[in-house]
Amino acid sequence: MRAFLEGGYSGTTLEQIAREAQVSTATVFKHYRTKADIFGAIMSRVFGNDDPSTWPPVTSGDPVEALTQIGRQYAATLRDARIRALFRVMIAEVPRFPELGQQLYERGKAPYLQRVEEHLRREVAAKRLAIPDVKLATRQFLGMINDVVFWPHMLVVDLPDTDAEATRVIRGAARTLCAAYGAERAR
């Protein structure tokens, strides 16, 4: 991963990757056909803990608590230094390699969009929330979190990042969404 972080995707060669891994280039080719395959394997490893099938189920019937639980998982991903570094590389490379951006989106953002959307649909079905556009509400919720917990750190590398601040942001996002779409609004 270090070779990609230092040289970017386009500036990294298979020879550099082999040297960093302390193996021959032939060994690299034996396991990966292309540089894109290697990068995909790195993304899989970085996002490995973000497999939705391994996430704990949402246990609370309280919409604020349930969204807070989901938000914590999302924020933990966004606060991971490896993921932030990977995003920095990808932002620079996506114009030349759009397929890499698509992979990052599918592995990084899409699972959370799906999880929040499914949860909000259950909340609407249970009449705890009244959301006319669940896809929009999903993006609003995650956006409130990543706008504070993630994006400032893309520009300011040494910006303080505390658990207390992340928790405050997540709970605020959950409360805001529930206030906007509370079931009493359906009347």
Same domain, 103 and 178: yes
Domain residue limits at 30: 1-46
Same domain, 32 and 73: no
- Alpha carbon distance 17, 48 (integer Å): 21
Same domain, 42 and 63: no
Specify the pLDDT at position 187. Answer: 37
Same domain, 123 and 32: no
- Alpha carbon distance 159, 90 (integer Å): 20
The model's pTM is 0.82
Alpha helices (runs of H) in 80-133, residue ranges in sequence order:
81-93, 98-104, 110-125
> 135: domain CATH number?
1.10.357.10
Q: Is the pLDDT of residue 160 over 80?
A: yes
Specify the pLDDT at position 106. Answer: 84
Same domain, 112 and 144: yes
Amino acid at 165: E
- The structural domain count of the chain equals 2
Specify the pLDDT at position 51. Answer: 60
> 27: domain CATH number?
1.10.10.60
Same domain, 41 and 64: no
Q: From residue 46, give the alpha-carbon distance in Å to each of 43, 81, 87, 108, 176.
A: 5, 10, 11, 10, 31
Q: What is the 3-state secondary structure (H, E, C) of 24-74?
A: CHHHHHHHCCCHHHHHHHHHHHHCHHHCHHHCCCCCCCCHHHHHHHHHHHH
Same domain, 81 and 169: yes
Amino acid at 107: R
Specify the pLDDT at position 123. Answer: 94
Same domain, 21 and 110: no
Q: Is the pLDDT of residue 186 over 70?
A: no
Residue 135's pLDDT band, with cuts at 50, 70 and 90, is: very high
**In this structure, is residue 129 part of a structural domain?**
yes
Q: Is the pLDDT of residue 157 over 80?
A: no
Same domain, 82 and 147: yes
- Alpha carbon distance 91, 73 (integer Å): 23
Specify the pLDDT at position 146. Answer: 94
**In this structure, is residue 111 part of a structural domain?**
yes
Which one has a higher pLDDT value, 168 or 91? 168
Residue 52's pLDDT band, with cuts at 50, 70 and 90, is: low
Least confident span in 6-10, 25-29, 71-75, 163-167: 6-10
- Alpha carbon distance 167, 80 (integer Å): 15
Same domain, 65 and 24: no
- Alpha carbon distance 67, 71 (integer Å): 6
Which one has a higher pLDDT value, 185 or 168? 168
**In this structure, is residue 102 part of a structural domain?**
yes
Same domain, 7 and 72: no
Q: Is the pLDDT of residue 131 over 90?
A: yes
Same domain, 64 and 36: no
Mean pLDDT of 122-150: 96
Mean pLDDT of 2-22: 86
Q: Is the pLDDT of residue 108 over 70?
A: yes
**In this structure, is residue 53 part of a structural domain?**
no
